[in-house]
Chain A
Amino acid sequence: MKLNFRFVILIGAIVFGVFFSVPSLLQTEKGAKITLGLDLQGGLHMLLGVKTEEAVKSRMKSIAASVKHYTDHNDILLDTLSANEDEVRFAILDSDDAASIDLMLKDIEGVSVNHSGEDYALTLTPLAVEETKKQSISQAIETIRNRLDQFGLAEPTVARQGTDKILVELPGIKTQEDEQRARELISRAAKLELIAVDEERAMRVYNMSAAEAAQYGDVILPDKERPDEKYLLKEIPILDGGMLTNATVAFDQNNRPVINFALNSEGAQIFGDFTGKNVGKRMAIVLDGQVYSAPVINERIGGGHVQVSGNYTVNEANDLAIALRSGALLAPIYMMEKRSVGPSLGAESIRNSLIALIGGFVLVFIFMIVYYKAAGVIANIALIANLFIILAVMALFGATLTLPGMAGIVLTVGMAVDANVIISERIRELLYEGKSLHKAIEEGYANAMRAILDANITTLIAAVVLYAYGTGAIKGFAITISIGILASMLTAILGTHGIYTLLESKINKSKNPSFWFGISKKRLG
């Protein structure tokens, strides 16, 4: 007997399909499984934008802070140091210091210096601006990922989308409270600054406008607990969260949660210098533009350890420490798209589409048997194999099954029988022409092949374009359709042919084409 390679392939395909779809169907612990999309299992999907221009602004501020620290450290006197969105300006009082300043400025990367006489203007080069913006996005992705990892969610996805967007997917978010907490954790800027209080004018803070404060190089910030209370602070911070190395939750003597954070060596140096020189003055601890506390400096604080107390719950303190530890967002983020699906709705979607899938399947199944008899049974075997192969391939690729993806499978059931219909019709035609069963089958397959290939390839082209250009749900749909087409070509063309070959001796002996292909004997004449 000749080796029936088609049948062997079909059996292989069925074994492959069943084997790899079992983990998904039975939800076993081991094995590759199909991931359910957020629309089916419930969860949170967010597309975030990044305000990159804010990153540039804060870069200017930190350049100003390092100029200030350098000049303070070297006793260089400056006149009005100021920073805005695209420029840092200052003037030196003694032109002898110019050489020292120039030397320091050379060390700051990406800055172009413009000076006439004693006046200096620092701007970022276009390249550095681009770089800063880019960095703010990748840093935001990293930060959000770190925060979510520490939050303890099952499988958060944080990925860049396009050039300037961030996609966040959180499956398994069950309650609105969890969702809200996750969103707050993500969006928290966690920008920590230590800022000197402008003691000279602090008394007048309640009668001062923001514009007037700006004239003195100051900003007015509110207290976190009591928003009516205001502080007049220097615009240029002493240092910012970039020098933070760790943040942990601890408890003070009253057993209230506090946050301890540690600074790196550079930060510890600056902090030590500043506190040493400003004993008796106040220093504000500012987080996201709110003053958490403004203690009086009693002595020089070395070692770089700072404690922030505030009136928070343990949960809040934990989230805050996570946010501080994972780094500040260089630029604030904003919501571009959000989709959240409750778990009950997801379960309902699965149930409904399963009913539709099974219903459609049964209908097609019965119809094929009634219409084609044995050929219908054979086509149905191919159809079942087809379904298993789709599931298996999706599981192996780790593909996500979405609601449109389910619809794609349902549709594939309808279209998968197409190849078998074409083949069976061709065979019937040949039988009417008076060909023998064996000959009709062989020629029928040969005749149908080109049409099936052309039709499937064109549909495949459409699916590939969909995959390349589509987003989320559409991609899922394109994947299931593509896999469905390929699987149906395998099962319908090779597989069913293999079954006919296997039954060849029976078919050849049979004088009853009506049994095999459901045609009426009358027309065979």
Chain B
Amino acid sequence: MEFFKQTKTINFMGGSKLAIAISIILVLSSYALLFTKGLNFGVDFAGGTIVQVKYENTAPIDAMREQLSGNEMFQGASITEFGSPDEVIIRLKSSSKDVSKDVGDVTREALKGTGDYTIRRVDIVGPKVGDELREKGVMSLLLAMIGILIYVAFRFEWRFAVASIFALVHDVSIALGALALTQIDVNLDVLAALLTILGYSLNDTIIVFDRIREGIVDAKSAVLSEVIDESVTKTLSRTTLTSLTTFFVVLTLFIFGGEIIHSFAFTLLVGVIVGTYSSIFVASPILMWLGFDIRSYHSKLAEKRRRKAEKEKMRAQFEQGTL
């Protein structure tokens, strides 16, 4: 079975202006969403309290609201359905510092008489912890990017590194925009998903770049856009296939993974789509616009080879003792 039967090179770079325009619009509207709506930080990052309650039957949300409103602790609490009608999440902005007294206990007391229920999860995160987690999250994102930048610059060339970072920022920005749009709770899982996107998108970009580098080395034409088109066409079936298999898996996670993994899976779904797109339509054009020049790259490679040969010759001479 084959998906891509064309042997002709597709003119990707011809459409790159349009693609970049779409990307710019997407990224800008993502930032607009981030600044206007903002991210909906969950308790992990914002601090606060979550109590998850599961009822035997449908949760009597109205009765719960009424009962809880009498308690000062639950001032301004939000009570929402979670996944199914018998499960409810109570969110509080505050978090208690007392070790021996607990929101879980208080909730259990307060909900008495509303039906048969169990308290399945209580998460309390103090503001300091939340701040620290957020700092650590941003820090790990930045450090991961720097590490990648160095590796790619070392293995390829600095323009490749810059282009792949652009693609990464593009993907993560759009994923963040999607989170702002849907107002999904941003928790540690979502951070993990964002970091996975980073890894995934990178994986994709590097595979395409590797092919471009190979194309450049063997290229007879000195026109970069032609080489890129040819290389992207060659990797197209692989890119699509891997994206499809990953997409399948993430989709099953999204559908069957349960409510708790929902935000994680959603973020990944967005990431897989955007990541695939960006490795083709964002990373490569940027490489072109950064002024990558095939001829100077060739001469650089030739220089490298010459030096290596010289070194070997010197060593051989040295070993034979005929300096």
Contacts and interface: CB of A to CB of B under 8 A. Distances in A.
Do A and B assemble together? yes
Contact of A404 (B147, B188, B252): B188
B38 interface: no
B16 interface: no
B281 to A, nearest CB: 19
B256 to A, nearest CB: 4
Contact of A411 (B123, B136, B196, B242): B196
Interface stretch (B24-32, B57-65, B178-186, B204-212): B204-212
Contacts of A455: 202-203, 206-207, 210
A338 B122 contact: yes
A404 B129 contact: no
A418 B242 contact: yes
Contacts, number: 250
Chain A contact-residue range equals 35 or more
A462 B191 CA distance: 13
Contacts of B246: 411, 414-415, 418
A337 B49 CA distance: 9
A415 B242 contact: yes
A93 interface: no
B1 A370 contact: yes
A345 B99 contact: no
Interface secondary structure of B, over-half rule:
helix
B146 to A, nearest CB: 9
Nearest to B139: A469
Given A367-B248, A462-B202, A47 B129 contact: yes
Interface in B93-148: 95-100, 102, 104-105, 108, 118-126, 128-129, 133, 136, 139-140, 143-144, 147-148
Chain B contact-residue range equals 35 or more
B256 A355 contact: yes
Interface string B226-265: 0000000011011001101111111011011110110011
A209 interface: no
B261 A481 contact: no
Interface string A228-266: 000000000000000000000000000000000000000
Interface in A358-390: 359-361, 363-364, 367-368, 370-372
Contacts of B118: 342, 344
B1 A335 contact: no
B177 to A, nearest CB: 21
Q: Count chain B CB atoms within 10 A of each CB in A179, A180, A407 and give the residue with the most.
A: A407
A297 interface: no
Given A352-B261, A461-B147, A474 B123 contact: no
Interface string B184-226: 0000110110011011101100110011001000000000000
Q: Which 3 A-B pairs have the closest CB atoms?
A: A360-B249, A187-B99, A352-B258
24 contacts: A187-B98, A334-B97, A336-B128, A338-B123, A340-B121, A342-B119, A342-B120, A356-B257, A356-B261, A364-B249, A372-B1, A403-B260, A407-B257, A408-B192, A417-B242, A417-B245, A421-B242, A458-B202, A461-B144, A462-B202, A463-B199, A465-B144, A474-B192, A481-B196
Given A342-B120, A425-B237, 20 more contacts: A183-B100, A187-B98, A335-B98, A337-B126, A337-B129, A339-B123, A340-B122, A340-B123, A342-B121, A344-B120, A352-B261, A356-B256, A404-B264, A415-B242, A417-B245, A458-B152, A458-B199, A459-B202, A465-B144, A520-B5
